[in-house]
Amino acid sequence: MVKVLSVGGSIVVPEFPDTDFLKKFSTLIRNWLSKDEERKLILVVGGGGPARIYQNAYKEIIDSTTDNGIADWIGIMATRLNAQLLKSIFSDLCLQDVVYDPTSVSEIKGRILVAAGWKPGFSTDTDAVFLAEQFNAKVVVNLSNIQQVYTDDPKKNPDAKPLEQIYWKDFRKMVGDEWTPGKNCPFDPIASKKAESADIDVICAGGKDISNIEKILNDEKFFGTKISNNL
């Protein structure tokens, strides 16, 4: 049984590595894997604070001539640094190099596979969907600083309401079809299109709530939003 977690970089490295969270996360993952030797996990990590800091520096210096492809590469390199940190934390369980190209891997040699950014044009959410499809996982768990999907941006619209579930077709109307580096949305538009096409569900939930993550891993009732073709 393989489960895929798309772990937001802002959870792992909001500005500096969140060692308190990473210790708790490591304990959770190790405990969950220890209960069934058939369990395996794919962890795909985003760029977090380092990606934003370096992308913003690039944009400030270059100003109006910003190239999205270059900004994406900066973010991708941040994801790879964060992924190397996760691989190091789980070095006894992750027995292969960090995966950059999700289409190039066919096996999980240990109990955990760690993946990072691949190429410009989308976020690590898309990499997670590629890997879910590759390993026949029907769900991607998206952990970020967003607890639930809302009907609108709650920071801009006080009437926005949280959703426990939403169809892909409706979610995609909300996030659009285009990706820009650093885009802040519950799940990247390119990943959303691919997940809908591949009939993969996504659960969006808060990444710092360890007990809630455990419920999701155990297929128990959780706090968050399920995005699916079939609700």
pLDDT digits (tens, 9 = 90+) for 99-139: 999 999 999 999 999 999 999 988 899 999 999 999 999 99
Residue 4 φ then ψ, to 5°: -115, 125
Q: What percent of the chain has pLDDT over 70?
A: 98
CB 48 within 8 A of CB 13: yes
For residue 157, pLDDT over 70 is answered with: yes
pLDDT category of residue 176 using cuts at 50, 70 and 90: confident
Q: By the 8 A CB rule, do 10 and 144 touch? A: yes
| Cβ atoms of residues 98 and 116 within 8 Å | yes
Q: Domains along the chain?
A: 2-228 (3.40.1160.10)
Q: What average pLDDT score do residues 30-38 get?
A: 97
Rounded CA separation 89/26 (Å): 7
Going by their DSSP bridges, the two strands 225-228 and 165-167 should be labelled as parallel
226 contacts: CB under 8 Å, gap ≥ 6: 164, 165, 166, 201, 202, 203
Task: Say how far apart CA 171 and CA 142 lie, in whole Å.
Answer: 14
pTM, rounded to two decimals: 0.94
Q: Can you state the angle between helices 168-175 and 189-198, rounded to 10 degrees?
A: 160
Please state, in angstroms and rounded to a whole number, the distance separating the CA atoms of residues 146 and 208. 10
- Please measure the distance between the N-terminal and C-terminal CA atoms of the chain and give it in whole angstroms: 22
